[in-house]
Amino acid sequence: MTPDARPDVTVDCTGRPCPVPVIELARAVAAAEPGTVVEVVSDDPAARHDVPAWARMRGKEYLGEVPAGGATAYRVRA
Amino acid sequence: MPATARGSAPVHLDAASGVPLSPAARAALEASLDDGWADPARLSAAGRRARLLLDGAREAVADVLGCRPPEVSFAPSGTVAAHLGVLGLAGGRRRAGRHVVHAAVEHSAVLHAVERLVEEGGSATSVVCDRLGRTDGDAFAAALRDDTALACLLASSHEVGTLQPVEEVAAACRAAGVPLLVDACQDVGRRPVPGGWSALVASARKWGGPTGVGVLAVRTGVRWRSPLPDDEREGGRVPGQPALPLVVAAAVGLQAAAAAASDEDRRLRPLVDRVRARVAATVPDVEVVGDPVDRLPHLVTFSCLYVDGEALLVELERRGFTVSSGSSCTASTLEPSHVLAAMGVLTHGNVRVSLSAATTEDDVERFLAVLPEVVADLRRAAGVEGL
């Protein structure tokens, strides 16, 4: 958990089922400057497992999760 | 029924959920219908015939499990056997405590029974697994406490096939004086069951027996208290008269499966190796999960990045193949597979392929030929190519 890693980009996928949050995160990371922090906000329980797994498969740094309203923001470094 | 590539029933590649009745089991079922109606507890001629059938079935199952016949009880399903196994062992150990140790990757039938114990004031420790889905034996042993009533460790993972360290954990449990329940539903009839268990659970429909028969075996000397009202049948562990013709069919089916198990292992293991290698080579962005070597002979699981698991199942069924999935969109709940989650692997786009006696090399080849195209089509439709 790195609460001080403030997101440069936020993608809101609230209400959208797996694998949409991971797809939208991947799109945002592809468009972001390398090294910036991208977060996806999701209330889908699968995102908690799939975002870190995606980061591992793509060689990206997973920065952890923080509460975001009724959902959760999962952060990675682009 | 949707049309399939064959224009007939899809190829069943979901043996881990259940397989059709084997010819041996079917013949036994038909042969025992005439005598299976009577009460085996009665001394009438019909009762004695039923008693012989029931005793014979119990001996056959005990022989395969490597235990004594009185230790074997027949239950209405593997799920009921698991529920009674967990609750009965806990009941027998109330004076010791109300703590349960179990693998994180346990089948939900065991987890639901443990949840009931926790709701009633007990506590539970879930033991982690590694990326391959193998439970950490040292962590399991370290989780055993003075107030641990029972421990649960499945023999192998029903979702990813990885064998579990049963003998190592059984030794730790024995040293701690804690009874160990082993869920061997995927193993019985396919490979020798690891020793050291106090209670064991199995399910007939996994080995070609009929739906409606589970097995609960409890070793002599293991403390037991039924969570249900007293009944003298089935060793006092499962109330009610067992469905005798089904039980006989299950036992005969198990003998046939066990007799063929090593040949089937030699036949299916290389087919699973082929699926593991070919899927990894022909489908981009796929994770083939579970232990590649120390695994069940018939089961392989992989996850396809960015693909909706339900869409994948529907499309594969349309192309003539039935598989299963641990993805949340295919489950009755919104939760993804707790097994894949515990392993730290992708939970979406998940496919479990499990082979049976009916699976041919040609079936596997045709599946492998179709899969890359199906995944590519779904990715194209979702606009995720190149992501």
Mean pLDDT of B242-248: 97
Contact: A26, B306; criterion CB under 8 Å: yes
Asked if residues A75 and A64 have their Cβ atoms less than 8 Å apart, the reply is yes
Mean pLDDT over each residue of chain A, to the nearest integer:
93
Angle value at C-alpha B355, between B349 and B358, nearest 5 degrees: 135
**pLDDT the model gives residue B333:** 65
Whether residue B129 lies in the annotated active site? no
At B353, phi and psi to the nearest 5?
-110, 125
- Tell me if B287 and A53 make a contact (CB, 8 A cut-off): yes
pLDDT tens digits, B121-133: 999 999 999 999 9
Using a pLDDT cut of 90, give the percent of chain B over it.
Answer: 93
A52 touching B (Cβ < 8 Å): yes
Minimum Cα–Cα distance from A26: chain B residue: B387
Per-residue pLDDT at B215: 98
Closest-CA residue to A58 (of A31, A77, A35, A39)? A77
pLDDT at A5 over 80: no
Any residues with CB less than 8 A from the CB of B84 and at least 6 apart, and which?
Answer: B75, B216, B226, B227, B228, B237, B238
CA distance B80 to B144: 25
Contacts 24+ apart (CB under 8 A), B174-177: B176/B141, B176/B144, B176/B148, B177/B96
CB atoms within 10 A of CB A59: 6
pLDDT at B2 (0 to 100): 46
pLDDT at residue B4 greater than cutoff 60: no
Interface test with A, best of B128, B305, B334, B337 (most A CBs within 10 A): B305
Dihedral of the CA atoms B361, B362, B365, B371 (nearest 10)? -120
Query: What is the token pair recorded at B15?
Result: 């043996």
Percent with pLDDT over 70 in chain B: 96
Residues B129 and B135: beta-carbon distance below 8 Å: yes
Task: State whether A46 and B328 contact (CB < 8 Å).
Answer: yes
ipTM score for this prediction: 0.94
B101, burial (CB in 10 Å: exposed 0-12, middle 13-18, buried 19+): buried
pTM: 0.94
State mean pLDDT over B137-166.
98
DSSP B224: -
Under an 8 A CB cutoff, do A52 and B344 touch? yes
Task: Report the alpha-carbon distance of residue A29 to residue B154 in Å, rounded.
Answer: 40
What are the backbone dihedrals phi and psi of residue B102, each rounded to the nearest 5 degrees, phi first? -145, 160
The pLDDT confidence band at residue A6, using thresholds 50, 70 and 90, is confident
B200 contacts B184 by C-beta, under 8 angstroms: yes
B contact set with A (CB within 8 A): 285, 287, 305-309, 327-329, 334-336, 340-341, 344-349, 382, 384, 387
Of A26, A48, A49, the CB nearest to B387: A26
* pLDDT (0 to 100) of residue B252: 98
A15 touches chain B (CB under 8 A): no
Question: CA B230, B236, B240: angle at the middle one, nearest 5?
Answer: 75
Residues B89-102 have a mean pLDDT of: 98
